[in-house]
């Protein structure tokens, strides 16, 4: 693994061209996600989640392949992720969609066992061999299972309320990102963790909290009782938690990128970077939302 890259002393400047690309990518993505959520078709919603989830896994697998030179392990990671999403897609076709309770445990066990079995093809090569095993297990848990929690939120309620809850989780998390970016760019002076992400400031964090609660309140007013089991107090608490989880997810991906010596996880989305650059916050906020909703139900 390349040595972690030192953090820059100043935040990366956003050029007008990069900003235009970021806005264009954001509008296009929201059109896709919004259209899928509005359409009363569960399998279509799952396909959109699976699309972003699988592409995120592929990005991680390509980073892993570059580092460990293992085509077998990176390919196995992608195939296991495909199998995971096929099971969820089949579940979405049922009249009352329920993701099998055993799915995460079984596939994670397969990730561990399969990763070790693949090491039998060559003589152990010290840390490189262990990186291949770790890459499969961690990569699957991080990118696939993490994204899978969005599907679990979708199916949390048997009615259309599940789609509203998923919409709430996505917009609150992503607008937290927007609030952090906007306020941090305008008045951000006090850096949070400059050796990990020089652009993150405490002022930006406050912007994330404010934007998440404000957007959550708008959704709550428009949806009302359809967001059950969320009440106003729980909405505020969850919005703050989702905002914090989104920031942590972004910082976690910053660690991942620095350890690989790259600026973006990919170049699929102009102005944003790769799929992991887009979904990193959701990989942390999705599981938190699912378990919080379960705790208050």
230-to-96, 134, 225, 244, 293 alpha-carbon distances in Å: 21, 38, 8, 18, 8
Q: Residue 153: what pLDDT? A: 95
pLDDT band at 274; cut points 50, 70, 90? confident
Inform me whether the pLDDT recorded for 36 exceeds 90. Answer: no
104-to-49, 60, 107 alpha-carbon distances in Å: 16, 19, 5
In this structure, are residues 98 and 91 in contact, taking their beta carbons and an 8 Å threshold?
Answer: yes
Tens-place pLDDT, residues 66-119: 999 999 999 999 999 999 999 999 999 998 889 999 999 999 999 999 999 999
Inform me whether the pLDDT recorded for 31 exceeds 80. Answer: no
Q: Residue 134: what pLDDT? A: 96
Tens-place pLDDT, residues 220-273: 999 988 898 999 999 999 999 999 999 999 999 999 988 888 877 766 665 567
CA distance 50 to 68: 26
What is the pTM (predicted TM-score) of this model? 0.88
**Backbone phi and psi for residue 119, each to the nearest 5 degrees, phi listed first:** -70, -15
User: How many Cα atoms sit within 13 Å of 249 on the Cβ side?
Assistant: 27
Percent of the residues in the chain that have a pLDDT greater than 90, as a whole number: 60
Share the mean pLDDT of the chain.
87
Tens-place pLDDT, residues 151-172: 999 998 766 688 899 999 999 9
Percent of the residues in the chain that have a pLDDT greater than 70, as a whole number: 84
Higher-confidence residue of 2 and 114: namely 114
* Domain locations along the chain: 1-40+160-297, 43-158
Q: Residue 7: what pLDDT? A: 41
């Amino acid at each position: 693994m390349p040595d972690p890259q030192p953090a820059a002393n100043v935040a990366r400047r956003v050029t007008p061209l990069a900003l235009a690309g970021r806005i264009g990518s954001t509008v296009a993505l929201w059109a896709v996600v919004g259209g899928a959520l509005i359409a009363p078709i569960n399998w279509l919603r799952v396909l959109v989640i699976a699309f972003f989830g699988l592409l995120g896994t592929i990005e991680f697998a390509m980073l892993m392949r570059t580092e460990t030179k293992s085509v077998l392990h990176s390919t196995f990671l992608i195939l296991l992720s495909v199998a995971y999403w096929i099971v969820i897609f089949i579940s979405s076709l049922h009249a009352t969609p329920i993701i099998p309770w055993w799915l995460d445990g079984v596939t994670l066990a397969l990730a561990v066992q399969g990763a070790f079995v693949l090491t039998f093809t060559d003589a152990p090569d010290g840390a490189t061999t262990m990186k291949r095993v770790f890459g499969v297990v961690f990569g699957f848990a991080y990118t696939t299972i993490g994204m899978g929690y969005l599907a679990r939120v979708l199916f949390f309620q048997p009615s259309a309320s599940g789609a509203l809850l998923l919409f709430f989780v996505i917009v609150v998390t992503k607008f937290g990102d927007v609030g952090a970016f906007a306020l941090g760019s305008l008045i951000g002076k006090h850096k949070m963790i400059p050796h990990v992400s020089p652009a993150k400031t405490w002022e930006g964090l406050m912007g994330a909290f404010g934007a998440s609660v404000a957007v959550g309140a708008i959704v709550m007013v428009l949806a009302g009782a359809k967001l059950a089991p969320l009440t106003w107090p729980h909405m505020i608490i969850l919005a703050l938690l989702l905002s914090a989880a989104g920031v942590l997810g972004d910082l976690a991906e910053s660690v991942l990128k620095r350890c690989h010596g790259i600026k973006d996880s990919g170049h699929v989305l102009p102005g944003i970077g790769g799929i992991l650059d887009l979904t990193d916050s959701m990989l942390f906020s999705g599981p938190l939302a699912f378990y919080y909703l379960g705790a208050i139900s």
